[in-house]
Structures are given as C-alpha cells and as structure tokens.
Structure 1
Amino acid sequence: MTRWTGKDLPDLNGRTVVITGAGRGLGLITARELARAGAHVVLGVRDAGKARRAVAGLPGAFDIRSLDVADLTSVRAFADSWRGDLDILINNAGVMDIPGTRTADGLDLQTTTNYTGPFVLTNLLLERVTDRVVHVTSQLHRQGKIDVADLDWRTREYNGMSAYQASKLAVVLFSLELQRRLTAAGSPVRSVLASPGIARTSLAAHSRSNVINRFTFLTNDAERGALSVLYAATQDVPGNSYVGPDGLGGLRGHPALRRQGEIGLDQDMAARLWDATTELVGKVAPLAPVTAERVDWQNSITVLKDRRQ
C-alpha cells in the first residue's frame, strides 16, 4: 500500500495559510512543506525574530506576524488586522502538562493555549476562511474529561496532564460543533482534526511524564508527525474528519483517516461546551442557515468581546 508523504502535496500556488505556533516543531515543518508546495504561509508566533531565523533560506513565501494564542488581546489584534481571504487556518500552537498558571486575561494558560485561544481566533477569522480550519489535537483526548461548569480550572484541583487531556478533548468537540454550525449555515468550509500521534518534539519538554523518551519505538519523529497536519490541510476529506497515523493505536505511522474517540462525538456535550466557552470569553451569535452560495459571516457572527476574569 502506498503511504502518503509530503511529496504528495498538491500545487498550492495562490493559497494562503495561517499556522499558529509555527516557529518550531510540527508547525515549522508544516509551514516549510506548505510553502514548498507554493502556498503563501503566515506564521502566527510569539517570537517573530526566532521565526524569521527559522525560515531564513527556506524556499517559498513566508509572512511572520505576532500572535500569542494565550493572550486574547493578541488574538483579537491579529484577527482585526487581517485583510482579504484566508484559505486554511491551522490551529497548531500548544503546550503539554505544564504547571497551573494564569494568563493576562486571568485564564488557565494550558487550556487557553490549546483550546480557548484557538476557539476565539477561529470565530474571529471564520468569515475570512474559504476552505477549512485544521485543529491539531492528540490521541490523549480519549482520556479527557470535560467539566463545562469549570472549564478554566477554578474549583477543581489542577493537574497538568488532566488539563492537557481535557483541552485536547475540547478541541475535538469544538470541531464537531463547528462543523455542525457550518453545515447548518450552508457553508462549504470544513473543520478537520489532525493528530500527529506521539511525536518527538519540544511539546512535552515541560511534561513530568518520560514516556516519549523511554518508548521512542512507539513514536513518530517530528517530520512524520507533521504529515497528519499536512494531509488534513490539503486532502479532500469530509468535514470533522480525524486524520492520524495509520499504525497501531494511532501512535505512529503515515496519515490516514481514523476515528476520534466516542467521547469526541457527543453532540450534546459539544453544544454545551460551545456555550460554556462563549460564556467564558464573550458572546458568539449562532450561525443561521442561509441559501446564498457564500455565507454572510459578518451578519451571523458577532465580535467576541473582552471579558477579563
């Protein structure tokens, strides 16, 4: 069986892609490969200087812009400054198993980086998106537990790995509800999930778990891990598809259509999570069904307002 690789990327000339957290790791590899295929790649990063050095000398068109998804002011500024269409948005930025820390907005840092910030960014840019939104999640979403009454870890005892698993489950449920709303609105835009499996990157640098280092034979290197993201971003897959490695347990291998955990297919939970998230960070008007070929997002989505905790 022929396995999909970066050599199978289509011609992306004329396409514009935004990738968050693209200054290193999976995001940088994804940016490099999409630019090589002809896309205009916008790297949304916290450290613009570091990102410029990372792409220096690489072939292709890169645009470096300041974006910290854990800072909702930064997210809003990035979205407000966007002009023109955006073909593909890739929510890649993430952290794993870090100590409990509050952001400038008073939100949990890990949850905001992995889920809340991308939720706000996606909603603010959605009227610009013409093709798809790709959400980078994790196989560990299968162990996640969502408490819609305490998304931000205010009443529960904080646990870094539990918060990570919950945030990645939130991403999966976000994709489910986003796709439902897009479909109801008659939009051709797709919401797609990508799991790199267990990839050897700096993501787990802060994790107290040593599983990745001890069991490298079960993991993907960063190059192969990025293939799931590239596949999800460029191949003709159905809305709310889950792309992950084709190996045992979805831990390593080449990209293929897989299935998210049953917990990530709970439509009622997805709807309640959406409502709880908008209550946490602001208000998003529901998308109303339309018959026009292109959805009038400007009239169907209200701008998220800053709500500091």
Structure 2
Amino acid sequence: MTQPWSVARLGDMSGQRIIVTGATNGVGLATATALARAGAEVILAVRNLELGAQRAAEMGGRTSVVKLDLADQSSVRAFPDLFDGEVDVLVNNAGLVAQHHSDTVDGFEMTMGTNLLGPFALTNLLYGRVRSKIINVGSDAHKSATIDFDDPHLRSRKWSAFPAYARSKLAVMLWGLELDRRLRAASAPVSTYLTHPGYVASNLANVSDTRVMSSFHKVVTAVANVIGNDIEAGAAPTLYCLTEPIPPGSYVGIDGRFGFKGGPALSGRTANACDYGDARKLWEFAERETGTALPV
C-alpha cells in the first residue's frame, strides 16, 4: 500500500538555504516552519519585520527576516542587496486577495501587481543567485480565469475580488509555463514548479492584510474552515517539490475532490494555462511593466 506523503520526507535539510515570501501567515508560515524545523536556513521575506521576527522566534532554527513588499517594485529591487550569498530554493508563496479595487505604488492593479509582477521581478533579479529550484504558488482558481491583454490592469473592465485573484493566478501559471520553457531551452541548472495549496481558510484571510474582513470574505473563510486544508496541508504541495523526483515544470496540487482538501499530488491544468502563445504575451507584458529580464 502506498504511504501518503509526509513532512518527514524532508529529512535533514542542513546546508540548504531557502527564501520563502509571505512567511508570516498561512501557507507561507507553515512552509517556512517545516523547512526551518528540518534544518534548512530559511530567509523569511516579509512586509512586516516585527511580525516576521516574532514568527522566526516561534519556529526556531536558522532563520533570518528580510524586508520585501511585492506590491512595491522599489522594495523588490532593494531586496537582493539586503542579504549576501546564494540560495538553493526560491519559494514565491506570497499572494493577495484584495477586497477593493486599488493600484500599487507603481500603478499596477493591486492583485496582478502583487501576485505576478512582484514575484516576476524578484525572480529575475535573484535568478543568478538561485542554485536549484524556483517554486511558484499558483492556484486551481486559474481554471475559471481569462486575461485580456488589451486591459491587463482592468482599467475599463468591471473589477471584483475573486475574478481578479483568479486571473492573477492564471498569470502565475502562464509565467511558470514560460519560465520552465526558457530554463529547459537554456539547459539551465535551475528547475521550476507550480503548486496549488488547496482551499486554505487562514491563507484567504491573511493574505488580504486587512483589519476588517468583508462579509464575503467571512463567508468564504467559514466555508474553507469546513471543507478546506489547514496551513500545514496547504504547504505540502510546495514541500513535495523539494522531496519527490517529479519532472521540471510539474504542477503539484491536491488529490482531494475539487482540489479543496487532501494530500499533495501531481495535478492537471486547464487549457488556458497551457497556451504557450499567451504565456509569451504574459511574459512580455511582465518584462515591460517591471523593466526586468531573466538573465538566461
């Protein structure tokens, strides 16, 4: 009988250095905690340094806290200079479910700016210092989404919270598709993966970073508490990418019904996330907006 995946599969990760973005709450916190307890050196890339320091103290191990605000391209550009040396793995975990339509300081639609353009620029800027893997946390929300490349920041289209989130995660999926293609074409030593954490209540609540949740968010969170994963199970697909012999470019999701709750397993993506033409368009859009390029 096949044994279910367990965090024990991480083994001893001493000597591994890993960046986890959004590591103060939700899936990011569970990911960083598991890695630190397995012996890895973990860099918590966070907006709130005080909370980051508290989390680092709670998880123990070899941890450091470095300032990063993915909604601010100046913070993204500053981040690589805030620590020295190389890293083995970059985990682009941080994400946002915005409750209101707003723009980042750079003029990007907030959800797209935080969930795609921030991590895209960060990855390009750090790539030369990454030795092994880049893991981007996507979502099965991509399956219902479309992207209008004529209006990527929703200037003229109606905005609502979860459609904006879904399109940002489709963008992450397309970015991951093109990133994998480019790394393979360059015979690069770095591989990349995409993951879906399931339906995680605390992640939905915390990534919005608001003090008062909307009624809609309260309902979504209450439902997720019943039918979704906890944060440890939500972190499992990301950790699975570090322990299992899966092909580069794999999408690791949840084996439960509808991808809501369960253990990590190789997953499928819908056709909208497998379109290399759209992936190229998305990549070119992100390069123009961030002024960054992958050095391969």
TM-score of the superposed pair, with normalisation by structure 2: 0.92
1:98, 1:110 within 8 Å by CA — same for their partners in 2? no
Other-structure match for 1:153:
154
1:136, 1:194 within 8 Å by CA — same for their partners in 2? yes
Query: Secondary structure in 2 aligned to 1:89?
Result: strand
Other-structure match for 2:210:
none
The number of residues matched between the two structures is 287
Other-structure match for 1:103:
104
Other-structure match for 2:93:
92
1:18, 1:43 within 8 Å by CA — same for their partners in 2? yes
Query: Secondary structure in 2 aligned to 1:271?
Result: helix
Which one of 245, 248, 251 corresponds to residue 242 of structure 1? 251
**Deviation at 1:63?**
0.6
57-66 or 210-219, which deviates more: 210-219
- Stretches of structure 2 that go unaligned for 5 or more consecutive residues are 207-212
CA distance in 1, matches of 2:95, 2:224: 22
1:134, 1:233 within 8 Å by CA — same for their partners in 2? no
What are the equivalent positions in structure 2 for 1:288-307 lying under 5 Å apart?
Answer: 297=295, 300=296
Other-structure match for 1:113:
114
The one-letter code sitting in structure 2 at the alignment partner of 1:146 is I
**Deviation at 1:98?**
2.1
Q: Percent identity, please.
A: 40
Other-structure match for 1:274:
283
Other-structure match for 2:228:
219
2:22, 2:95 within 8 Å by CA — same for their partners in 1? yes
Q: CA RMSD in A?
A: 1.7
**Deviation at 1:274?**
0.4
CA distance in 1, matches of 2:41, 2:16: 6
Other-structure match for 1:179:
180
Query: Secondary structure in 1 aligned to 2:142?
Result: helix
Q: Displaced runs of 4+ in structure 1, greater than 6 A? A: none
- Stretches of structure 1 that go unaligned for 5 or more consecutive residues are 286-296, 301-309
What are the equivalent positions in structure 2 for 1:1-309 lying under 5 Å apart?
Answer: 1-204=2-205, 206=213, 208-209=216-217, 210-214=219-223, 216-284=225-293, 297=295, 300=296
CA distance in 2, matches of 1:43, 1:57: 13
CA distance in 1, matches of 2:83, 2:175: 23
Q: What does the per-residue CA deviation read over 1:112-131, in whole Å, with 9 as the maximum and x for residues that have no partner?
A: 11111001101111111111
2:174, 2:275 within 8 Å by CA — same for their partners in 1? yes
Q: What does the per-residue CA deviation read over 1:104-156, in whole Å, with 9 as the maximum and x for residues that have no partner?
A: 11211111111110011011111111111111111111011111222222232
CA distance in 2, matches of 1:49, 1:190: 33
The one-letter code sitting in structure 1 at the alignment partner of 2:282 is L
**Deviation at 1:82?**
4.2
CA distance in 2, matches of 1:21, 1:80: 18
209-218 or 13-22, which deviates more: 209-218
TM-score of the superposed pair, with normalisation by structure 1: 0.88
1:94, 1:203 within 8 Å by CA — same for their partners in 2? no
**Deviation at 1:57?**
4.1
